[in-house]
A and B are shown apart, each in its own frame.
Chain A
């Protein structure tokens, strides 16, 4: 994650040893109070979230993997290039794990954030305490990290049940999927922090014209080698392609250290830029 470099409390950033660290202080500590708040709410609402963020992708995986997969056959028929010896189910399962992480993270960074900024005004209430805008972000990322961790873990367990992962390194697919989510979440929060009108219109544009195409064309359902060459180049720099590729390589035991590091670096760049923008935009929005 990017390091907070701004020197003063006004920017919502803790100053080392400065007065802004009164109370508990620190970079992470105060924000954990907001994570705690989210977990209190989750105690009551966890049942519903199981469907949207876990059961749906698993059902999708089964339908596509077995249903569509039976038409394709191992190794890919009809010119589809799937790495030799792989079933279609094994191919798309890690893709859906990363794609699901993107969707969970993006959703949690959209409407709920708008609600806390403008509808329920939770942030206003939180900022009337020693908490700072930076702490709000720590709390949100902690919460989104918790959601990503639980859904990715559950997804990996299902993959183990189907015998998809190739070895113990597959466990690293969990942080890989989480990082995929974090390549989107901060950017989405930075957008949410700027919306002053009706957020629904903006979000529906983003989901329809950004998230959905990424989900379909980032190597989730078929290798990007099937795309026209220009689009392949585009795919290389999109966060989801890198997240899907990293997660898949780790699950299937195909990871090449250098290539995986490249995927990792690109995801970190998105996360860092997003964090910078989210911090700046949320501060500008809340402290006026």
Chain B
């Protein structure tokens, strides 16, 4: 499983491009196929109830009233004078992977905690699985699988016991719990560590165990709060691969992240949060198309060069839609990066380095908020 995650190259991940395709035809989903040859195969038939994800037209359109697993209207969370979440509206449909993208402190975790029924709503309305968290918290939580931002595994129990005791909390019958625990340890590739204590596990292993724990009661909805924060790239890719598997099985995933690549990899649809508010919503592709150009030309100049003057002196015509000055570089948003470079050279401008890349959610975020996601 050390081979790079097939969907890692941004070009291959474009869930929105298959707007009318079945989920199996989704390049992202087929990209995860090789993984199913591994130990995870055993669990592909694990969640029959979830396999019936809507296969047609599960596009970025917000869900209708009927199939919304989560529905928030004017959802607000205040702590004293501080407003953590400020009147947000969103819907999450059955079977989709929905993301909250935003920097630390944007209100993502507060929103997740309200969905998870461990934080009372201050204002507005929230329905989860058609129920009200204020009165049906325990009933909702019985159908949730939660992966918290900070590991809270039971360090006094072994890996296997962590799953078994969690199954007891959910009142999963004993035989069923044993079977699922075994399957899930295979699924997250920890079967050989089942009698190990939790503490010696690596960060990636702990996260995978936390995910297995969240799945022990076969949840309708899986909440993941910054699932890969703090992991090394290899551990992240392994984790993404497992989450893809879940998605393929039809699980509904709701995740928060401040990594734009994670959002692009995993989310069918996402909202961008900043300062307690939702500033944009759509599929990753939609957001990029709506808010930034197709390509980005990144230029670096030697110290002392008056970048404004140099760039201002180049005639790009209609080629460059917008420029963005960053401390160490200048970004030119353009439909055609090659052509823009030619114009630069024609004008006799030779930057120290130039790079053409596809626009990402990072650019969307920069455009919408004037700031970068990860500082």
A and B: interacting chains: yes
Please list the residues of chain A having a beta carbon within 8 angstroms of any beta carbon in chain B.
8-10, 18-25, 30, 33-34, 36-37, 40-41, 44, 120-122, 124-132, 286-288
How many residue pairs, one in A and one in B, have C-beta atoms under 8 Å apart?
103
B166: A residues at CB distance < 8 A: 125, 129
Q: Does B139 contact A (CB under 8 A)?
A: yes
Q: Beyond A24-B171, A44-B156, A124-B118: 5 further Cβ-contacts under 8 Å?
A: A8-B134, A30-B169, A122-B154, A129-B166, A287-B120
CB pair A9–B136 under 8 Å, yes or no, is yes
CB pair A126–B79 under 8 Å, yes or no, is no
CB pair A10–B148 under 8 Å, yes or no, is no
How many Å lie between the Cα of A268 and that of B364 in the bound state? 62
CB pair B137–A36 under 8 Å, yes or no, is no
Q: Does B153 contact A (CB under 8 A)?
A: yes
Contacts A10-B120, A10-B134, A120-B154 given; does A125 touch B139 at CB 8 Å: no
User: Whole-angstrom distance from the CB of A286 to the nearest CB of chain B?
Assistant: 7
Q: Which of B152, B161, B217 makes the CB contact (< 8 A) with A125? A: B152
How many Å lie between the Cα of A33 and that of B141 in the bound state? 16
- Kindly supply a per-residue 1/0 record for chain B positions 134-153, scoring 1 wherever the CB is within 8 Å of any chain A CB and 0 otherwise: 11111101101010101011
CB pair B168–A22 under 8 Å, yes or no, is no
B116: A residues at CB distance < 8 A: 128
B83: A residues at CB distance < 8 A: none
CB pair B136–A20 under 8 Å, yes or no, is yes
CB pair B119–A130 under 8 Å, yes or no, is no
A23: B residues at CB distance < 8 A: 138-139, 142, 170-171
CB pair A33–B154 under 8 Å, yes or no, is no
How many Å lie between the Cα of A54 and that of B166 in the bound state? 32
Q: Does B157 contact A (CB under 8 A)?
A: yes
User: Whole-angstrom distance from the CB of B71 to the nearest CB of chain A?
Assistant: 18
What interface size band does chain B fall in? 20 to 34
CB pair A125–B168 under 8 Å, yes or no, is no
A286: B residues at CB distance < 8 A: 118
- Kindly supply a per-residue 1/0 record for chain B positions 147-181, scoring 1 wherever the CB is within 8 Å of any chain A CB and 0 otherwise: 01010111111000100011011110000000000
Contacts A10-B120, A125-B153 given; does A130 touch B148 at CB 8 Å: no
How many Å lie between the Cα of A125 and that of B210 in the bound state? 10
Contacts A33-B168, A40-B165 given; does A120 touch B138 at CB 8 Å: no
How many Å lie between the Cα of A208 and that of B145 in the bound state? 43
The residue on B at minimum CB distance from A42 is: B156
Q: Which of A21, A34, A36, A124 makes the CB contact (< 8 A) with B148? A: A124
Q: Does B368 contact A (CB under 8 A)?
A: no
How many Å lie between the Cα of A17 and that of B170 in the bound state? 19
Q: Which of B134, B141, B153, B154 makes the CB contact (< 8 A) with A129? A: B141
CB pair B141–A37 under 8 Å, yes or no, is no
A-B contacts, 9 of them at CB < 8 A, read A19-B131, A22-B142, A23-B171, A33-B168, A120-B156, A122-B154, A128-B148, A130-B139, A288-B79
CB pair A130–B154 under 8 Å, yes or no, is no
The residue on A at minimum CB distance from B148 is: A124
